[in-house]
A and B are shown apart, each in its own frame.
Chain A
C-alpha cells in the first residue's frame, strides 16, 4: 500500500469527484436540466423535478457533507495523517 502524500491526495480527489458528481446530478441535473422530464413522476403531491429543486437537493447536500466528513476521516486514518 502506497502511503505517500500523493497517494493520500489522489484518494482525497477521488472522494471529491464522487461527491461532486452526486452534487451536480441532484441540483443541476434533477432540479434543472431534467426537471421537466421528472415532473411526470409524482412523490406524494410533489412533481419530482419540482421536489428536487425545492426540497430534495437540500436534503442530499446535507447528507453529502456528513458523508464526506466521515469518509475523509477514514482516509486520514488509513494514510496516518489524522490529527492528534
Chain B
C-alpha cells in the first residue's frame, strides 16, 4: 500500500473513533457540559489532561527546539512539567473543594466582587484565544502536509470534527475523546523514538539510550555529540544555556507558574469526583505528560546526531576528520528524505563554495581557532538550513521506518492539536456562557437555557478560532509568550492568594491582577509592538531589548507574578478586611470533608 493511502486510512480511523465517542458521550445537563458530571476517574482524567495540555507545539516543535538549543532547551521540559507540582499542591484540590465550574467564578466568589470575576474572564479570554490561534494553524499545517489538501480545507475539517464532539458532548465528550487522542499521540511519539534509539545505541528505551554509548563505539552519544558540534563551531550540546543563567531561571519559573495558571488546564480538575481524586489526578496527568517529555530530549539529541551523521557519516560513527574534503557527503548522493523535505522549503541547501558537498556548521562561531579551521578547509558559509519543526515529523523517514509509522505520526500530530483546541474552546465557552451570560447579564436563565447558551458560545468560538486560524494575525508567533505571561502574572497569584491568604480582600486582589497584567503587557509590548501591531514597539522607553536584567519577554511572567503579589499585599494592608463569611468560606475550602459534586449555582 502506498504512503498516501496508509495515511488516509490511519487518520480516517482515528477520526471515526473520535466521532463515535462523541455520539456515545452526549451531554444532557450543564453539569455534564461544564464538568463531565464530576465523575471522571483520576487516571482517565490524568490522560485527558495530558492530551489537553500537550499541543501541536509539544508534539511537533519542542524536540526540534531542544535539538537546536541543547542543554538550555531543558527549560521547556522543567517549566512545563514543574508547573504540575504547583498545580497539584497549591490550586487543584482547593478549587475542586470549592465545587464550581469555572476559574472566574472562584475569583468572583472568593473576592466577593463582579469586577474581580470580570477581570478574570478578560484574562482567560485573551490567554485562551491567543493560544488557540496557534492550534488551529497547527491543524491546518498538519492536514496540508500529510493529506495533500490545502491548509484552508484542513482547518474546515478540523473545525467540523471539534464541533461534533465539543458542542454535543461538552466537557464529557471532550474528556473521553481526549483519552483516545492521548493514546494515539503517545504511540506516535514513542514508536519512532524506540526504533531510532535502537539504531544509534542498541538500547530500546530512549530515556536510557540518550545516556548510552554509540553502537560499536566506546564513547557515550552525548560526549560524541559534544565534540562533533564543537568542531562544527556550535556551543557544546550538554552545557549551552538559554541566554544567561538568570534568564533561564526566570524563564523556567514563568513557564511553571503559567502552566499552573492556564484556565483550560485548571478546569480539568473540576471533573473528578473528590478532593483526593484531584490530588492524584494531577500526578497521573504528569505521568502521562512525562512519558512524552522524557522522550523528547532523546529524540532531540538523536535527531541532531542523525542529521550530522547523514552529512558527515564517518565523523559520527568513526572518528574521521570533519574538515577533510571527503568527510562531507556529495549533494547528489543525499538520502531521499532530504529530497522530500526540500520540496516543502523547510530544508534548504545552497552550495556556497561550489564543491558539490554539503557543509553544515556554525559560520558565526566566536572561537577563532575553529573559524581558522573552517577557512583552511575552504568553507564559505553554512550551506544547509533545517527548520526545527521537521525534526519530529521527519524522524521516521530518517530512520527508514515503515509507512504505517509515518501515518501514525500524522495522526498523532492532529490528535495533539485537536485535543488542545477542544480544551481551550471549552474554557472560552464556559467563561462566556457561565461567567458572563449567567453571572452578569441574565442570572435567571434556566438550566436548559444555559446549556443552549453554552453550546451556542462553543459554536461561535469554533468559528472565531477557525477564522483566526485561516487569517492568523501577524502576531501569532509572539502570542504564546502573552498567554503564559497573563496566566502567570494575573490568574495564578489571584487564585493562590484566594486560598492561602484568608485576609486577602477584593481591593488587593483586583489591584494585584491589574498591576501584574499591566507590567507584563508593558514589557511584552515594548518588544513586540502595542497589541502586536508592527512598528509600535517602544524599546527605547525601557532602555533597549531585554533591558530588565537581560530577561526576554517570554520569560517575564514570573516578574509580573512577583509584582502582582507585592501590589496585592500592599493594597490589602491599607484597605479593610474581607467580610466574616468570606473568611469562613476560605476555611471551608481548605478542608476536604464535605466536598460535593460540582454545580454552577452562584
Mark A residues whose CB is within 8 Å of B: 5, 8-9, 12, 16, 19-20, 23, 27-28, 31-33, 35-36, 39, 43-47, 49-51, 53-55, 57-59, 61-62, 64-66, 68-69, 72-73, 76, 81-83
Contact = CB atoms under 8 A, between A and B. Distances in A.
A9 B77 contact: no
Nearest to A53: B74
A67 B211 CA distance: 27
A20 B257 CA distance: 13
Interface stretch (B119-127, B136-144, B584-592): B584-592
Given A33-B249, A58-B78, A47 B222 contact: yes
23 contacts: A12-B590, A19-B89, A27-B82, A28-B252, A39-B238, A45-B213, A45-B223, A53-B71, A54-B74, A55-B210, A55-B297, A57-B77, A58-B293, A61-B85, A62-B287, A64-B85, A65-B89, A65-B279, A65-B282, A68-B279, A69-B88, A76-B593, A83-B595
Given A58-B293, A58-B294, A50 B85 contact: no
A53 B73 CA distance: 9
A82 B213 CA distance: 50
B211 A44 contact: yes
B499 to A, nearest CB: 11
Given A5-B591, A53-B74, A23 B85 contact: yes
A54 B297 contact: yes
Contacts, number: 138
Residue from A58, A81, A82 with most neighbouring chain B CB atoms (10 Å): A58
Nearest to B275: A83
B239 A62 contact: no
B211 A57 contact: no
Interface residues of B, number: 52
Nearest to A47: B238
A35 B286 contact: no
Given A50-B239, A55-B297, A68-B89, A5 B290 contact: no
Contacts of B213: 45
A23 B66 CA distance: 22
A53 B294 CA distance: 10
Nearest to B245: A32
A55 B222 CA distance: 14
